[in-house]
């Protein structure tokens, strides 16, 4: 194994900035080539980051034998084809969340990684926050007792990122697969990865992408289609049951008539509880007194810090064979949950996993 990891980027849109800037901070990484099917975006990014090797197809990039690993930052529906092609070409892969747009694709990706003996890491970036690490530390030292309930909201009042995000054929869905995926994964991880057994979900298409809105959105896709399609849900709500009896409840929206955007992640155990966002707080009962604990240690990281930790972990896993914190198998589990929630929303019934 080389000591300098040579990286290719497949998909050079908005989130690619985070991957690129993280790789650029590392001494043991060389960013070699960019690939994007959108030539103007590809050229813009290559100019900005000083990359001379550019490709309009993943096959051409993957034919470069010098490249050890790739970041897949395409829209969701292209994750599977890009990751599988990269793994078959002998590259390690860091694939953005959600892993795929179907369980079948996620399983095919996992199988390709196994067959080729290469790492497939899924970009569950929220696991790389200080808050997640501190909560798992408290959990492992039994601060929470039995954790039986987790609850998260990831609600945007006017936050459809545009481009492909509203086009189901490229996104696989709306806020559930885009935002809900983060908090479902994070809660499942913090709760010690209990096995999901069933879900009950509801989705709504009421406000779409607020086509008449005069306000800008906080995060936008770099893909600017002539006509913004919006055939995905704008609100999703779900309850997930796990084999150990615990339950998670989540809500995620792109468009919702609420006062302000909300991002809350809460855990409840028999001995203690926690609220992660915006700042980590822990709750317990000491000698019968209800007690709130705020840590001196900084707990909230910005996007840049989270992505640096994620990308640095990927590099460490590849170069040093470190155990991956977010392996393909976890991506498959979360994909099963997402798929089941969409099925439940369609049928109106609980769906077994």
Instruction: Return phi, psi of residue 14, to 5°.
Output: -60, -50
* Burial (CB count <10 Å: 0-12, 13-18, 19+), residue 127: buried
Interior/surface letters 238-276, b for 16+ CB within 10 angstroms, e for the rest: bbbbbeeebebbbbbbbbbeeeeebbebbbbbeebbbbb
Interface with ligand NAD (CB under 6 A), residue from 38, 43, 198, 262:
38
Segment holding 319, helix H or strand E = helix 303-320
Strand extents, DSSP E, the chain: 5-10, 29-35, 53-55, 69-72, 92-96, 120-123, 147-155, 196-204, 235-242, 247-253, 262-269, 272-275, 281-286, 289-294, 351-352
**Nearest to 235, CA basis, from 154, 351, 338:** 154
CB of 190 to ligand NAD, least distance (A): 17
Residue 97 or 156: which CB sits closer to ligand NAD? 97
Is residue 343 at the binding interface for ligand NAD, with CB under 6 A as the rule? no
The answer to the question of residue 209 lying near ligand NAD (CB under 6 A) is: no
321 phi-psi bin (left φ>0, alpha ψ -120 to 50, beta other):
left
Interface of this chain with ligand NAD, residues 176 to 205, rule: CB under 6 A = 178
Among the listed residues 41, 237, 255, 326, the single contact to ligand NAD using CB under 6 A: 41
The stretch near ligand NAD (CB under 6 A) out of 111-119, 198-206, 217-225, 276-284 is 217-225
Regarding 15 and contact with ligand NAD (CB under 6 A), the answer is: yes
Toward ligand NAD, which CB reaches closer, 37 or 295?
37
Chosen residue from 23, 75, 128, 200 binding ligand NAD by CB under 6 A? 75
Judged by CB under 6 A, the chain residues 137 through 176 that form the site for ligand NAD are: 163-164
Give whichever of 122 and 351 is closer to ligand NAD, judged by the CB atom.
122
Span 89-108, contacts to ligand NAD by CB under 6 A = 96-97
Instruction: Report yes or no: 256 and 155 within 8 Å, Cβ to Cβ.
Output: yes
Q: Does 67 bind ligand NAD (CB under 6 A)?
A: no
Q: Which of 33, 125, 232, 324 binds ligand NAD (CB under 6 A)?
A: 125
Query: From CA 223, how far away is CA 229, in angstroms rounded?
Result: 12
Q: How far is the CB of 208 from ligand NAD (least distance, A)?
A: 19
* In the complex, minimum distance from the CB of residue 171 to ligand NAD, in angstroms, rounded to a whole number: 8
Question: Which of 5, 7, 10, 155 contacts ligand NAD by CB under 6 A?
Answer: 10
Secondary structure of residue 249 in the 3-state scheme: strand
Using CB under 6 A, which of the segments 5-13, 114-122, 207-215, 273-281 binds ligand NAD? Answer: 5-13
Q: How many CB atoms lie within 10 A of CB 65?
A: 10
* Residues at the interface with ligand NAD (CB under 6 A): 10-16, 35-38, 41, 58, 73-76, 78, 82, 96-97, 123, 125, 163-164, 178, 221-223
């Amino acid at each position: 194994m080389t000591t300098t990891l040579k990286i290719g980027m497949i998909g050079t849109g908005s989130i690619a900035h985070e991957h690129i800037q993280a790789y650029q901070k590392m001494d043991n990484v060389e960013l070699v080539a960019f690939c994007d099917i959108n030539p103007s975006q590809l050229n813009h990014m290559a100019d900005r980051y000083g990359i001379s090797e550019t490709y309009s197809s993943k096959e051409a990039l993957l034919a470069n034998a010098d490249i050890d690993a790739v970041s897949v930052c395409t829209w969701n529906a292209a994750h599977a084809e890009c990751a599988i092609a990269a793994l078959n070409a002998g590259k390690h892969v860091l694939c953005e969340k959600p892993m795929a747009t179907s369980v079948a694709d996620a399983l095919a990706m996992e199988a390709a990684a196994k067959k080729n003996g290469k790492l497939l890491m899924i970009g569950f970036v929220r696991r790389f926050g200080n808050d997640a690490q501190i909560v798992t530390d408290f959990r492992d030292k039994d601060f929470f007792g039995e954790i039986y309930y987790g609850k998260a909201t990831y609600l945007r009042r006017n936050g459809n990122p545009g481009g492909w995000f509203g086009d189901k054929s490229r996104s696989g869905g709306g806020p559930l697969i885009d935002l809900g995926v983060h908090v479902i994964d994070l809660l499942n991880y913090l709760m010690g990865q209990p096995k999901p057994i069933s879900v009950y979900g509801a989705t709504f298409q009421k406000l779409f992408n607020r086509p008449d809105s005069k306000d800008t959105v906080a995060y936008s896709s770099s893909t600017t289609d002539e006509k913004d399609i919006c055939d995905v849900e704008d609100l999703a709500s779900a309850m997930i049951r796990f084999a150990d009896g615990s339950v998670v409840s989540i809500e995620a929206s792109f468009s919702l008539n609420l006062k302000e955007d909300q991002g809350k992640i809460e855990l409840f155990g028999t001995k203690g509880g926690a609220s992660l966002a915006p700042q980590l707080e822990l709750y317990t009962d000491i000698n019968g007194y209800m007690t709130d604990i705020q840590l001196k240690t900084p707990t909230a990281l910005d996007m840049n810090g989270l992505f640096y930790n994620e990308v640095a972990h990927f590099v460490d896993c590849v170069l040093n064979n470190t155990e991956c914190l977010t392996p393909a198998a976890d991506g498959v589990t979360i994909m099963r949950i997402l798929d089941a929630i969409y099925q439940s929303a369609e049928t109106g019934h609980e769906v077994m996993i």
